[in-house]
């Protein structure tokens, strides 16, 4: 009994850490225009829209976060092997990783912008100065929380994987969840604020990203502020649910039926989420209605 | 995933000669392992690894991934890279499967599948939530007029100047199936290698306590599983040229040639993963 | 480092880079064998230098492949090459002194078959596909082996997996603690980043190659920190100093080249609208 209560506590804590990680990851990648919305930041100068947005094209978010979390976990593991206190080891490892992330971010911005010289896009060096540190801070939060939850899984819940392997597994999952949930909100709602709400961005408008802010010219810190309102928290909920439910069903129900209990609960959860998704889809179709009359389309 | 404006070069046709050569090479590799090791259990392990690799390649075809245009609501699907989304789901499944490894192969594989499916179910649900409640956009497929599962018409829900957006129900189901297959495939590769290493490594490392070497076996099987997963999923991503709407997409029909490619790729990677403890 | 120093205005042909990468990385990895001969551990950092040279070669290979448009992002090519490279490399560690050569040959075989899968079976019809994936799998194996030798001081299987030299137990060995995953992902990021970060209409080869060296040294810093767990304090410090110095030099050089190629280099200035807008 005590064991189960302990497991539930760790599960809850891991879920909370994962929520923070998802939110920080999404805000970080949106400040850097990493992932798919990057294509528009890259495209805008070619269409004649010079901008002051941070263009941090490191890789897609899943490989990038797989890398950061594995590096952070590996460094922490190295310090643990050196008999450093685990919590200090996690902090040191993640701090060094944040440095690596910052270096990658600056080289990516300089490289992409210098290669856009043909279209007259200047390198705004103040963007590097003011935004790299902000992405590094967010990245540190995301990496530290993810590596910490990996450490909890290994040390407290007894998962067989060593820390760096857990780091790459959950780092890639974090990047996948964060980019899937957060990218459309940043890519459509923020970059294309000038387009109609409630519709996709027409292909013809590609590259015409919003470059001016409430006061002055928009930079990526404005985008981080915007993402923190919905895209970030939603990504946090997504990754938090993934980690929490995965651990919860295993910790509580794995002893039931020689492992099949956890599987049945997992299948039930999938069915519940499927029903919710279908409900949302139908709700949207009814509430928002079609863009064109069915008769028009048939021709 | 990246900003490079890649033009898909691959067509849909099957290269029959190359496929037959691929199948023959796969059989040769399996035969070679048996000739080298004279060990039927190792050969079975290789076949398990190959099946796992094929499942991983197959799972990518179900993933509804729209790539960069999806982030602007210009194309349906999830806005990320297809190989990496499959890796995210499959490795989350591998996490669950590895945890259940001691409960037997069947339980572990099913646990891995459910782990991957659950990850995709939550991710796809949150994608729908963001599209509907964050951006006010209903789901519409670009390539099929009617959702084959629900019968919902799609065309009139497509906003002007786009190829559709969001996750229609068929794409959602495709994502979950993809997660299930990816989790099962990744776990199968891992479990086959883990059982083999747990048996062979103690003698190879001359460890006094076989139980101590378990962590090395877990680690080695884990990194090989990640490696084979990435190889197989990237090949499948090449097959569908990076984006797909899931099972309703015409590109889904390209899966036979990826199965052959995954067979051969997993066989060549798997034989080295097994021979490391065999020679 | 003579490679990058000689980068001038003219482009370096790919075959030259293959030669430099192949020979340089093998020599670098084999120099770590001085550890065994002399009984010291300070020669470990040569493994990292070898890996850097392999990455320089790899960045150009990725450029060659990805200019064809492979349908998905540049990073995927790095994942494919390192996914196959790590398998060949781990298998090759069985062969002791011959490991780098065996790893190179086996990775090339695996890569050729994967290239055949991608080009013929999946029917991508990209002329350089088979050669590029063969090269990249070999680069993956060499890079992982170089960094592994730098971190653990050896590229043989028994020292990497066995606990004989450690009191802590198998959980703290190089493979047992999965440090190989860190090496894998550091290499996979470092091989794709140079081209992914500099692609665009004003792409310059020398800028990309400098970035490749910078990424390599940056990975070396991480590896050097990890190597404190395996090597003597002095050896790990030597590695750390070499990597920091190399990284700093090439980072500054890369910034200089970016400044050379950029349209304008502005600090806290408003948007400069192009003419005609």
In the prediction, which pLDDT does C3 show? 35
Tell which A residues from 226 to 255 touch B, by Cβ distance under 8 Å. 230-231, 234-235, 237-238, 241-242, 245-246, 249-250, 254
Chain C within 8 Å of B241 (Cβ-Cβ)? yes
Distance separating alpha carbons of residues B63 and B85, to the nearest angstrom: 8
Taking CB atoms and an 8 Å limit, are C79 and A123 in contact across chains?
A: no
Mean pLDDT of C99-118: 93
In the prediction, which pLDDT does B122 show? 95
**What residues in C contact A168, CB-CB < 8 Å?**
181, 185
Q: How confident is the model over B60-94, as pLDDT tens digits?
A: 999 999 888 888 888 898 988 888 899 999 999 99
- Would A280 be classed as within a structural domain? no
- Rounded to a whole number of angstroms, the distance from the CA of A10 to the nearest CA of chain C is 23
In the prediction, which pLDDT does C7 show? 35
pLDDT band at C119; cut points 50, 70, 90: confident
The whole-number mean pLDDT for each consecutive block of 10 residues of chain B, a chain of 279 residues, reads 43 81 92 90 93 94 89 88 90 92 92 94 94 91 87 88 90 94 95 92 80 88 93 90 86 89 93 88
In chain A, the number of structural domains is 1
**Most C-contacting residue of B91, B230, B254 (CB-CB within 10 A), to test interface:** B230
SS3 A124: strand
Q: C64, exposed or middle or buried, with CB in 10 Å at 0-12, 13-18, 19+?
A: middle
**Most C-contacting residue of A55, A72, A107, A109 (CB-CB within 10 A), to test interface:** A107
- With a cut of 60, say whether residue C165 has pLDDT above it: no
In the prediction, which pLDDT does B191 show? 94
Taking CB atoms and an 8 Å limit, are B4 and C69 in contact across chains?
A: yes
Tell which C residues from 140 to 169 touch A, by Cβ distance under 8 Å. 168
Tell which B residues from 62 to 121 touch A, by Cβ distance under 8 Å. 67-74, 78-81, 84-85, 87-89, 91-92, 94-96, 98-101, 103-104, 107, 110-111, 114-115, 117-119, 121
- Would A212 be classed as within a structural domain? yes
Taking CB atoms and an 8 Å limit, are C192 and A59 in contact across chains?
A: yes
Distance separating alpha carbons of residues B223 and A104, to the nearest angstrom: 25
- The mean of the pLDDT values for chain C is 87
Question: What number of H helices and E strands is found in chain A?
Answer: 10, 1
Taking CB atoms and an 8 Å limit, are C181 and A63 in contact across chains?
A: no
- Would A261 be classed as within a structural domain? no
In the prediction, which pLDDT does B4 show? 42
Distance separating alpha carbons of residues A299 and B155, to the nearest angstrom: 11
Residues in chain A: 299
**Most A-contacting residue of B78, B84, B113, B225 (CB-CB within 10 A), to test interface:** B84
According to the 3-state scheme, what is the secondary structure of chain B? CCCCCCCCCCCCCCCHHHHHHHHHHHHHHHHHHHHHHCCHHHHHHHHHHHHHHHHHHHHHHHCCECHHHHHCCCCCCECCCHHHHHHHHHHHHHHHHHHCHHHCHHHHHHHHHHHHHHHHHHHHHHHHHHHHHHCCCCCECCCCCECCCCCCECHHHCCCCCCCECCCHHHHHHHHHHHHHHHHHHHHHHHHHHHHHHHHHHHHCCCCCHHHHHHHHHHHHHHHHHHHHHHHHHHHHHHCCCCECCCCCHHHHHHHHHHHHHHHHHHHHHHHHHHHHHC
Distance separating alpha carbons of residues A74 and A93, to the nearest angstrom: 8
Q: Which residues of chain A carry a pLDDT beneath 70?
A: 1, 293-299
Two structure tokens written together for B187:
């776990």
CB proximity list for C162: less than 8 A, separation 6 or greater: B205, B206, B207, C170, C173
- Rounded to a whole number of angstroms, the distance from the CA of C112 to the nearest CA of chain A is 24
Query: Using an 8 Å Cβ cutoff, are A102 and C254 in contact?
Result: no
Distance separating alpha carbons of residues A241 and A266, to the nearest angstrom: 13
Question: H/E element holding A276?
Answer: helix A260-288
- Would A276 be classed as within a structural domain? no
In the prediction, which pLDDT does A196 show? 87
- Would A272 be classed as within a structural domain? no
Domain ranges, residue A85: 2-253
- Would A159 be classed as within a structural domain? yes
């Amino acid at each position: 009994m005590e064991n189960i209560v302990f497991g539930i506590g760790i599960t809850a804590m891991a879920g909370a850490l994962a929520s923070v990680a998802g939110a920080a990851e999404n805000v970080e990648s949106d400040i850097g225009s990493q992932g798919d919305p990057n294509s528009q930041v890259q495209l805008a100068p070619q269409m004649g829209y010079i901008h002051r947005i941070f263009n941090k094209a490191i890789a897609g978010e899943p490989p990038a976060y797989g890398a950061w979390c594995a590096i952070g976990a590996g460094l922490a593991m190295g310090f643990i092997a050196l008999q450093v206190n685990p919590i200090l080891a996690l902090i040191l490892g993640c701090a060094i990783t944040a440095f690596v992330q910052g270096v990658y971010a600056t080289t990516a911005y300089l490289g992409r912008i210098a290669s856009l010289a043909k279209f007259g896009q200047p390198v705004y060096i103040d963007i590097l100065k003011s935004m790299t540190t902000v992405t590094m801070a967010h990245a540190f939060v995301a990496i530290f929380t993810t590596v910490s939850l990996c450490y909890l899984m290994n040390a407290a819940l007894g998962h067989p994987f060593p820390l760096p392997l857990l780091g790459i597994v959950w780092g890639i999952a974090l990047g996948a969840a964060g980019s899937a949930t957060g990218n459309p909100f940043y890519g459509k709602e923020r970059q294309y604020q000038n387009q109609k709400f409630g519709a996709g961005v027409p292909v013809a408008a590609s590259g015409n990203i919003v470059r001016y802010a409430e006061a002055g010219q928009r930079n990526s810190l404005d985008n981080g502020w915007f993402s923190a309102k919905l895209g970030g928290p939603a990504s946090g909920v997504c990754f938090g649910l993934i980690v929490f439910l995965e651990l919860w069903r295993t910790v509580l129900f794995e002893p039931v039926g020689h492992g099949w209990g956890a599987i049945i609960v997992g299948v039930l959860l999938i069915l519940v989420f499927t029903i919710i998704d279908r409900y949302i889809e139908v709700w949207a179709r009814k509430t928002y209605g079609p863009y064109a009359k069915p008769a028009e389309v048939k021709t | 995933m990246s900003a490079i404006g890649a033009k898909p070069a691959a067509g849909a046709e099957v290269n029959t000669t190359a496929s037959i050569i691929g199948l023959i090479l796969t059989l040769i590799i399996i035969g070679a392992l048996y000739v080298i090791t004279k060990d039927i259990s190792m050969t079975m392990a290789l076949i398990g690894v190959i099946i796992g690799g094929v499942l991983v390649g197959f799972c990518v075809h179900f993933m509804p991934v729209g790539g960069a245009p999806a982030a602007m609501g210009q194309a349906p699907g999830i806005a990320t890279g297809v190989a990496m989304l499959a890796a995210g789901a499959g490795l989350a499944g591998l996490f669950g499967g590895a945890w259940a490894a001691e409960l037997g192969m069947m339980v572990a594989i099913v646990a891995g599948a459910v782990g991957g499916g659950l990850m995709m179910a939550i991710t796809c649900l949150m994608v729908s939530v963001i599209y509907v409640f964050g951006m006010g956009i209903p789901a519409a497929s670009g390539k099929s007029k009617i959702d084959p599962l629900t019968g919902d018409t799609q065309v009139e829900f497509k906003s002007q100047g786009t190829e559709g957006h969001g996750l229609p129900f068929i794409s959602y189901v495709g994502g979950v199936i993809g997660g299930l297959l990816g989790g099962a495939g990744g776990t199968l590769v891992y479990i086959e290698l883990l059982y083999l290493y747990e048996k062979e490594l103690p003698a190879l490392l001359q460890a006094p306590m076989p139980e101590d070497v378990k962590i090395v076996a877990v680690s080695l099987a884990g990194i090989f599983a990640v490696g084979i997963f990435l190889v197989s999923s990237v090949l499948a991503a090449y097959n569908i040229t990076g984006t797909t709407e899931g099972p309703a997409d015409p590109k889904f029909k390209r899966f036979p040639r990826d199965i052959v490619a995954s067979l051969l790729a997993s066989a060549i990677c798997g034989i080295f993963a097994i021979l490391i403890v065999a020679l | 480092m003579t490679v990058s120093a000689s980068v001038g205005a003219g482009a370096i042909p790919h075959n030259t880079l293959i030669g430099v990468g192949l020979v340089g990385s093998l020599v670098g990895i084999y120099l770590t064998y001085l550890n065994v001969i002399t009984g010291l551990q300070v020669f470990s950092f040569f493994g990292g230098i070898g890996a850097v040279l392999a990455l320089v070669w790899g960045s150009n290979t990725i450029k060659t492949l990805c200019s064809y448009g492979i349908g998905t992002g540049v990073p995927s090519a790095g994942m494919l090459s390192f996914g196959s490279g790590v398998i060949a490399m781990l298998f090759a560690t069985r062969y002791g002194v011959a490991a780098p050569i065996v790893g190179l040959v086996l990775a090339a075989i695996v890569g050729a078959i994967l290239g055949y899968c991608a080009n013929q079976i999946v029917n991508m019809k990209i002329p350089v596909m088979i050669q590029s994936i063969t090269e990249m799998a070999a680069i993956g194996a060499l890079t992982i082996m170089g960094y592994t030798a730098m971190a653990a001081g050896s590229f043989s299987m028994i020292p990497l997996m066995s606990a004989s030299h450690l009191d802590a137990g198998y959980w703290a060995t190089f493979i047992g603690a999965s440090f190989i995953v860190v090496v894998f992902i550091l290499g996979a990021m470092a091989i794709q980043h140079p081209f992914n970060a500099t692609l665009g209409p004003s792409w310059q080869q020398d800028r990309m190659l400098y970035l490749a060296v910078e990424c390599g040294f940056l990975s070396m810093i991480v590896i050097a920190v990890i190597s404190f767990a395996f090597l003597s304090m002095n050896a790990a410090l030597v590695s750390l100093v070499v990597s920091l110095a190399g990284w700093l030099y090439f980072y500054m050089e890369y910034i200089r080249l970016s400044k050379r190629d950029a349209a304008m280099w502005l600090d806290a200035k408003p948007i400069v609208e192009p003419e005609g807008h």
